[in-house]
Amino acid sequence: MDLGGARARRARSTRAVVVGAALLAALVLTGCASGPVAAAPASHRPTPHRSATPRPPRPTPTVTPTLTPVPTVPPAPPFVAFDKTARSVDDPASPWVVVNKPRALNPISFVPQDLTYPDVAYVNHQPMRQETAAALVAMFQAGKAEAGLEFSVQSAYRSFESQTRVYDDDVAHNGQAYADTDTARPGHSEHQTGLAVDISALPAKCSLDACFGETPQGRWLAANAWRFGFILRYPADKVAVTGFTYEPWHFRYVGTPLATQLHATGVTTLEEFFNVPGGTSYLG
């Protein structure tokens, strides 16, 4: 047997196998193997090449906004100062006339020319000025509608002659010093102007008495009379100014503009508002 030749053939066969395996490995590593090559795992796949040209932007949908209308605020009315000279405080026919102890009516025997009797309840059936009557009816109707209250006229217009009788009767019963605190002398009474009204409750309670101010009617009138052009003429804290004791039943018509101005400013007497003489003493 030729052992040397056999060994040589085995060695050549082994080198051929080794060379072939090495060549196959090289082909696999370089991607040149003739057989199929398994794909690399996804995590090791190369990032595909992206074009350098950017994509056009997506169109933005058109949305029409809903506009909430802005409310129109009217401009504030221009400030107008109250004109205290618009009406006379001396003319007895003026609704702003100021008559008191030092300020007599001129003429002293003045008689209004437009007296009328409004359709209201009366204790004493006495007339009053037309403008006063219209405002009184509206006030009585509001008191009924808003608070269920009933009113009546205790006293209204009194002439110079009738005021003389009232004053003389008070002097005869109580003396002049007392009468001068609660009854005006003739020619100095607001009742002679036809602009003053003494008001009572229905049913009658505290008529011509200070306690009228505590009745439902008295409280409602004190709070609301200004809306209709009336003022409570003789407040409890203004005796030294008006010259007369507290009369919560005595309401004086001055017109809505002046009554509203007095209410807004908190001034409670005509003497203070118009800066005219008042007080507890007569001049003569």
As annotated, the active-site residues are 247
Tell me the CA end-to-end span of the chain in Å, nearest whole number. Answer: 182
- How, if at all, do strands 196-202 and 128-129 pair? unpaired
**DSSP of the chain, one letter per residue?**
--HHHHHHHHHHHHHHHHHHHHHHHHHHHHT--SS--PPPPGGGPPPPPPPSSPPPPPPPPP--PPPPPPPPPPPPPPP----TTSS-SS-TTSTT---SSS---SSTT---S-EE--SS-BSS---EEHHHHHHHHHHHHHHHHHH--EEEEEE----HHHHHHHHHHHHHHH-HHHHHHHSPPTTS-GGGGT-EEEEEEES--STTSGGGGGSHHHHHHHHHGGGGTEEESS-GGGHHHHSS---TTEEEE--HHHHHHHHHHT---HHHHHT---SS----
Angle at CA of residue 232, ends 153 and 263, nearest 5°? 135
**DSSP of 4-61, one letter per residue?**
HHHHHHHHHHHHHHHHHHHHHHHHHHHT--SS--PPPPGGGPPPPPPPSSPPPPPPPP
